[in-house]
Amino acid sequence: MPAVAGKRYVTSTAVFLTEAIKLALSLTVALYEISKRAPASMPATSLFSTLSDTIFSGDSWKLALPALLYTVANSLQYVALSNLVPATFQITYQAKLLFTAIFGLLMLQKYTPARNWGLLLFLAIGIVLLNAPGHGSGRLVARDGYVHFPRSMEEWKQAKGYSPMNIVKRSASYEGIEEDILLEHPPLDDHLGLIATLFACVASALAATSFEKVIIDSVAKTSIWIRNVQLALYSVVPAFFVGVIFLDGETIANQGFFAGYSWIVWLIIFIQAIGGIGAGLTIAYADRTAKTTATGLSLVASILSSLSLFGLKLSANFCIGAAIVLVATFLYGSSTPNTSPMTRVRPPPIRIESYDTAEEKNKPALSPLNDFSIKLPTTPLLSAAGLSTSRPASPSHSRVKTNQNNPGYFLHPGE
């Protein structure tokens, strides 16, 4: 896209706004759910207090790690898409299936059948073929990071894709012209895009696995919207302080927070926010067939849009690799989940009240209290009359003087 008023938007601001919109939408729906269960007379302050207690109670702090990993993955996606054609990124991003299976085996002890491991290996081969040298990516600058700029206006006129009308000479120096050209035509680096995509796959897979572990280990049942609020809340903090303040604080201070924003940038932010919430809803409600169909359609749409909008040049390696990834993704997603005994599943929590109720039903009926008596040892001076109640009674015998000839408990010496 051309720069807006000579400036480009900073990606960290887009990531922060995406998480902020997700937080606002999730908070609205979560508050609506709580208000439906609350009595009509409950004031608004009590509703917000209940919502706050629900969000920060229990194991909510455990979602800080998955939220941070999701933020890192979203930031790396911007880096990857800044250097790769969308179709190449979308297909390569399916490598997260392989990393998810590996992390599931290591962290959750999930058993994956040999068929699925074979499909994942098949998918990895397709990704390698897809990114192998041999297909053009519409690179705007020279390879190996070296950029050659013509030194005169005549050379600029002869350069392919450039014209004097596209040059805004901000100064008479060569550096000023070079900066203007880099702003209008940012350099693309296939290697950097591929590395960013793979690291985004690792971060996304680790985040999904750790999020699933939190759900499995959780005793209390929590609404999916409360979980979305917790994830968005823990994502906003690193997105703002690490991305906006620490990494891009100087740039944002110089050009402004919303510099370079256009309607397309805002559309991307809203789509990312809604897509993030939709991903959480698919985990809770969609079956494997629906998710597999959606993934396949997104891959096909990325390829077709890249052909028409980004001038994607198809090659033999690209076509074969894309076909392999499509087939492997479809077969892996449509496979039936394995229920092998090797799968370690956390047993449901034991409810004491229900357990006691079941025990009372199965316990044989006891006889009335009057049908049995407690047998206690007797003493020489304690009659049975003192055992009538739980409160000790005074002995019923009459007291005698010590000078009377009564041996009592102990016999005198010699007797």
Q: Residue 148 pLDDT > 80, yes or no? A: no
Name the token pair of 307.
């052909």
Q: Which of 107-121, 287-301, 363-377 has the highest mean pLDDT?
A: 107-121
CA angle at 68 for the pair 281 and 269, rounded to the nearest 5° = 60
Whether the pTM exceeds 0.85: the reply is no
Identify the residue with better confidence: 112 or 384. Answer: 112
Mean per-residue pLDDT for 171-192?
70
Q: What is the pLDDT of residue 176?
A: 61
What are the residues whose beta carbons fall under 8 Å from the beta carbon of 312, sequence distance 6 or more? 85, 87, 137, 138, 303, 306
Q: What is the pLDDT of residue 341?
A: 39
Name the token pair of 191.
């290697």
Spans of all domains in the chain:
11-111+189-286, 140-187
Q: What is the pLDDT of residue 340?
A: 43
Q: Residue 149 pLDDT > 80, yes or no? A: no
In whole angstroms, what is the distance from residue 380 CA to residue 382 CA? 6
Q: Residue 386 pLDDT > 80, yes or no? A: no
pLDDT band at 55 (very low <50, low <70, confident <90, very high): confident
pLDDT band at 20 (very low <50, low <70, confident <90, very high): very high
Mean per-residue pLDDT for 344-360?
53
pLDDT in tens, 186-203: 778 888 999 999 999 999
In whole angstroms, what is the distance from residue 247 CA to residue 194 CA? 22
Task: Map tokens 């496979």 to a residue.
Answer: 335
Q: What is the pLDDT of residue 297?
A: 85
pLDDT in tens, 280-316: 777 667 777 777 788 888 888 888 888 888 777 788 8
Q: What is the pLDDT of residue 22?
A: 92
Q: What is the pLDDT of residue 51?
A: 85
Q: Average model confidence (pLDDT) for the chain?
A: 76
In whole angstroms, what is the distance from residue 235 CA to residue 186 CA? 29
pLDDT in tens, 317-328: 888 888 998 888
**Nearest alpha carbon to residue 68 among 213, 206, 271:** 206
Q: What is the pLDDT of residue 75?
A: 92
Q: What is the pLDDT of residue 108?
A: 86
Identify the residue with better confidence: 116 or 382. Answer: 116
Buried b (16+ CB within 10 A) or exposed e, 31-60: beebeeeeeeeeeeeeeeebbeebbeeeeb
Mean per-residue pLDDT for 333-359?
53
Q: What value does the CA radius of gyration of the chain take, rounded to a whole number of Å?
A: 36
pLDDT in tens, 235-287: 999 999 999 999 999 989 998 999 989 899 999 999 999 988 887 777 667 77
Q: What is the pLDDT of residue 383?
A: 46
Q: What is the pLDDT of residue 39?
A: 82
pLDDT band at 139 (very low <50, low <70, confident <90, very high): very low
Mean per-residue pLDDT for 374-382?
51
Length of the chain: 415
